[in-house]
Chains A and B, each alone.
Chain A
Amino acid sequence: GEDVEQSLFLSVREGDSSVINCTYTDSSSTYLYWYKQEPGAGLQLLTYIFSNMDMKQDQRLTVLLNKKDKHLSLRIADTQTGDSAIYFCAADGNYQLIWGAGTKLIIKP
């Protein structure tokens, strides 16, 4: 079946860039999403990219899409303590979003 995979943890120093990676299997996915979840809260949509785009930038966030390799990445520039959260990658499937397991971003001072 369709699948989305992410590494479970990423540790970066405050002020550095964070790069969170995601791979997906469904080549027909049209939209690919990044969501952020802070402790005890629901998920917040961060950004999304349409499958005919290679890159999308929104302030400190840059999304790169390699459709050939089915690889998606989220780069957070100048990572701050407030960026500490779990980041979920999702790809649209037939009737629902297919979710990754989430990457926990840990910020070191």
Chain B
Amino acid sequence: EADIYQTPRYLVIGTGKKITLECSQTMGHDKMYWYQQDPGMELHLIHYSYGVNSTEKGDLSSESTVSRIRTEHFPLTLESARPSHTSQYLCASSTCSIRGPLHFGNGTRLTVT
């Protein structure tokens, strides 16, 4: 019943490659977020967006970039993947009318070799 979709589900890639993690939501939510989470650990906010053409960096320093050209789409790009980027990346969205709740995708598990 997920209304927020992340692809790919799993990705194994070599060091130095450029990758884009996709996130799309069909709920018309204005706010979207990217979190980084090591398995079973706490979430770290790396990017967020209040709406089209709005992007902000989160608390965790990240070498990734994001774009928000359309409301429903919030891709995350790593220009040059490194082993330290190995983690799970979770995309989420919410309405602007209340402070949360967040709706999460199932995540992308990234391994950089």
A residues near B (Cβ < 8 Å) are 30-31, 33, 35, 40-45, 48, 86, 88, 90, 92, 95-97, 99-102, 104
Taking CB atoms, residues of chain B closer than 8 Å to A44 are: 104
Say yes or no: is B100 at the interface (Cβ < 8 Å to chain A).
yes
Contact of A33 among B40, B48, B101, B109 (CB under 8 A): B101
- Distance between A96 CB and nearest chain B CB, rounded to angstroms: 6
B residues near A (Cβ < 8 Å) are 6, 33, 40-43, 45, 48, 58-59, 90, 92, 98-107, 109
Q: Is the interface of A mostly helix, strand, loop or mixed?
A: strand
- Distance between B102 CB and nearest chain A CB, rounded to angstroms: 7
Contact of A102 among B42, B102, B109 (CB under 8 A): B42
A33 x B100 contact (CB < 8 A): yes
- Distance between A80 CB and nearest chain B CB, rounded to angstroms: 20
Contact of B42 among A30, A92, A100, A104 (CB under 8 A): A100
Among residues of A, the one whose C-beta sits closest to the C-beta of B104 is A42
With contact pairs A40-B109, A96-B33, A96-B58 given, residues A104 and B101 touching in the complex (Cβ less than 8 Å): no
A42 x B42 contact (CB < 8 A): no
A96 x B48 contact (CB < 8 A): yes
